Amino acid sequence: MKVVGILMLLAGWFLVLAAIVLFSAPPLRGAFILAGMAVEVLGLALAFRSHLIPREEKR
Amino acid sequence: MPVPRLTEATTVACIFFIFLVPLAATGLALMNVGLGRSRSAGHMMMASLSALAVAGIAYFVCGFAWQGVIGGPGHSLNLSGKSWNWIAAEPFFFRKLSFEGSVATLAALFQIFCVGLAALIPLGSGADRWRLRASCLSTGLLAGWTYPLFAHWVWGGGWLAQLGVNYGIGRGFLDVGGAGTVQVMGGLSALAVAWILGPRRGKYSADGMAPAIPGHNAVLVLFGCMLALVGWFGLNSAGAILFTGGEASGAALIAINTMLAASASALTAAFITKVRFGKPDASLTANGWVGGLVASSASCAFVSPAESVVIGSIAGTIIIFSVEWFELRMEVDDPGGSISVHAVAGIWGLLALGVFGQFQRPVLNVAGDLPSAMNGIAAGQWLAQLIGVATLLGFVLPLTYCANRLLNRFYPFRVSVEGERQGMDLHELGAGAYPEFITHTDEFLPR
C-beta neighbour count of B447 within 10 angstroms = 3
pTM of the model: 0.94
Give the pLDDT band (50/70/90) at residue B425.
very high
C-beta neighbour count of B410 within 10 angstroms = 8
Cα–Cα distance, B386 to A44 (Å, whole number) = 16
- ipTM field: 0.96
Looking at per-residue pLDDT, the higher value among B365 and A17 belongs to: A17
Tell which residue, B122, B235, B117, has the closest CA to residue B189: B122
Cβ proximity of B350 and B160 under 8 Å: no
Cα–Cα distance, A55 to B187 (Å, whole number) = 27
Q: What is the pLDDT of residue A54?
A: 75
Q: What is the pLDDT of residue B205?
A: 81
pLDDT digits (tens, 9 = 90+) for B288-301: 999 999 999 999 99
Cβ proximity of B392 and B198 under 8 Å: no
* Residues of B at the A interface, defined by Cβ within 8 angstroms: 79-80, 82, 163, 167, 169, 195, 198-199, 201-202, 204-206, 330-332, 379-380, 383, 386-387, 389-391, 393-395, 397-398, 401-402
The domain B8-431 having CATH identifier 3.30.70.270: the answer here is no
- Phi and psi at B325, nearest 5°, equal -65, -45
Q: What is the pLDDT of residue B427?
A: 94
Tell which residue, B19, B28, B4, B1, has the closest CA to residue B290: B28
Name chain A contacts of B386, Cβ cutoff 8 Å. 33-34, 37
The mean of the pLDDT values for chain B is: 92
pLDDT digits (tens, 9 = 90+) for A19-54: 999 998 989 999 999 999 999 999 999 999 999 877
Name chain A contacts of B332, Cβ cutoff 8 Å. 48, 51
A12–B contact, CB cutoff 8 A: yes
Tell which residue, B284, B131, B115, has the closest CA to residue B193: B131
Name chain A contacts of B153, Cβ cutoff 8 Å. none
A28–B contact, CB cutoff 8 A: no
pLDDT digits (tens, 9 = 90+) for B194-238: 999 999 998 888 776 788 899 999 999 999 999 999 999 999 999
Asked if B390 lies within 8 A of A40 by C-beta distance, the reply is yes
Asked if A16 lies within 8 A of B394 by C-beta distance, the reply is yes
